Amino acid sequence: MTDGTIDTPPQTLNHAGAVVDQAIAFMVGQDIGSLEIASALLAGALALMGRSLSHQGILAVLDQAREAVSGGHFDPTQA
C-alpha cells in the first residue's frame, strides 16, 4: 500500500472485518442506532488512520470512499 489503496488484502484484513462485524452486532443488540454506530466507527477509523497515514493519505482514503458512494457502491436499493 503506497498510495492509500490495497492491491491484495492481507489475511488479517478479513479477521479485522469479522471482529468489526461482531462489534456492530453487539452494538445493535444494545439498541444503539445505526447512524451512531457508523459515526463512532468512522471516528475511530479516522483516529486510527491518523497514527499511520499523513493527512494527505487520510484524504486519499476518504476520496476513494467518496468515489465509491458516488459510483453507487452503497446504494441501499441494490442491497
Segment 14-70, tens digit of pLDDT: 999 999 999 999 999 999 999 999 999 999 999 999 999 999 999 999 999 999 999
Q: Is residue 55 part of a domain?
A: yes
With respect to residue 1, please indicate whether it lies within any of the assigned structural domains: no
Residue 27 domain flag: yes
* CA gap 59, 65 in Å, rounded: 10
**How many whole angstroms separate alpha carbon 57 and alpha carbon 55?**
5
Angle at which helices 55-70 and 34-49 pack, to 10 degrees?
Answer: 140
Confidence of residue 1 (pLDDT cuts 50, 70, 90): very low
44: containing domain: 11-72
Instruction: Give the 3-state secondary structure of residue 2.
Output: coil
Q: Give how many domains the chain has, as a whole number.
A: 1
- 29 lies in a domain? yes
pTM over 0.85: no
Domain membership of residue 3 (yes or no) is: no
Residue 23, domain member (yes or no): yes
Residue whose C-alpha cell is 489475511: 11
